[in-house]
Amino acid sequence: MPSIFSYQSAEVDWCESNFERSAVIAEYYNTVSKLWEFYCLQHPLGISQPRARMETLLTQAVFLLAGIFSVYFHMTLSYVGQLLDELSILWTLAVAYSFWYPRVYFPRCIKSRKHFFWLSGVTTVISTLMSFIKPAINAYALNCIAFHLLYLTWRELKKCNDKRVHRMAAVMVALWVLAISSWISDRWLCGLWQAINFPYLHSFWHVLIAMSLLYCCPLVIYFDINYELPAFKPKLGYWPSDSWPVVVPYVALEEPHKQC
């Protein structure tokens, strides 16, 4: 039995050929693209100043851990790396739901953010233990959570008339569709991509999902401000300019509404 820390001991092996570009990095392009994703995702939550600093820092910390563990997994394809990669994503989602899930969507039995925090914690512990039963299906289960996030986005868009918000959501969804299509194609059509010598779609997944999250995070912050800081009016913008082909979306706070 190989060690759970051994190279290529994971249940999952992506389509990219192993050790083709490096003697120490199993999946070179998947690792490099993950580093790029990790770098990109350090920005968006940093603009979330309306939230408590501890909440923002903790959310950024789990993003950081998810990036580190995923890089380790693609470098080694070890069993431990696979579990850390998948569980760190689960923990990141748990933290994001705990702090950013709108109160209006809480179950009726939940009366406060503190109660919802404990519900998320218990659910995460149970999900973590279940993840050890069959790690190969963890990635599919985690990807299914995206459908709930899309549903919540749709619910929020029905209440919003701001064309910028709708445009940003449309770009986010389009990038997610391209990302998940790349992920599925790499997983299920590997023979085809290897036959044409292009087994790199999982690295495209890393790039595209990072771009989708760059649009998702400002949307979450925008909706969060509407709920948590109703006296302020959030406004979506693009840096450095709306006219640039490649931009970084952000949220700006306009002057507080006048109170009666």
Does the annotation place 226 within a ligand binding site?
no
- Alpha-carbon 36 to chain mean position: 14
Render pLDDT for 118-163 as a digit per residue (tens, 0 to 9): 999 999 999 999 999 888 899 999 999 999 999 999 999 999 999 9
**In this predicted structure, which of 23-27, 77-81, 183-187, 236-240 has the lowest mean pLDDT?**
236-240
Render pLDDT for 162-185 as a digit per residue (tens, 0 to 9): 999 999 999 999 999 999 999 999
CA dist., res. 98 & res. 115, Å (int)? 10
Give 120's contacts (C-beta < 8 A, 6+ positions apart): 94, 97, 98
Other beta carbons less than 10 A from residue 182's beta carbon: 20
| pLDDT of 249 | 86
Does the annotation place 74 within a ligand binding site?
yes
Does the annotation place 18 within a ligand binding site?
yes
DSSP for 8-54, written as a single string: T-SS---SSPTTSS-SS-SSHHHHHHHHHHHHHTTSGGGG-TTS-HH
Does the annotation place 14 within a ligand binding site?
yes
In CATH, 28-254 is 1.20.1070 = yes
Please indicate, yes or no, whether the overall pTM of this predicted structure exceeds 0.85.
yes
Give 115's contacts (C-beta < 8 A, 6+ positions apart): none
Render pLDDT for 86-108 as a digit per residue (tens, 0 to 9): 999 999 999 999 988 999 999 98
In terms of DSSP H, where are the helices of the chain? 28-40, 53-76, 79-100, 113-131, 138-158, 163-188, 190-195, 201-228
Render pLDDT for 204-239 as a digit per residue (tens, 0 to 9): 999 999 999 989 988 998 998 889 888 888 888 888
Nearest to 76 by CA among 141, 22, 134: 22
Q: Where are the domains of the chain?
A: 28-254
Does the annotation place 118 within a ligand binding site?
no
pLDDT band at residue 260 under the 50/70/90 scheme: very low
Does the annotation place 55 within a ligand binding site?
no
Q: For residue 240, is the peptide bond before it cis, meaning its omega torsion is within 30 degrees of 0? A: yes
CA dist., res. 92 & res. 253, Å (int)? 26
| pLDDT of 51 | 54
Give 32's contacts (C-beta < 8 A, 6+ positions apart): 203
pLDDT of 258 higher than 50: no
pLDDT of 79 higher than 70: yes
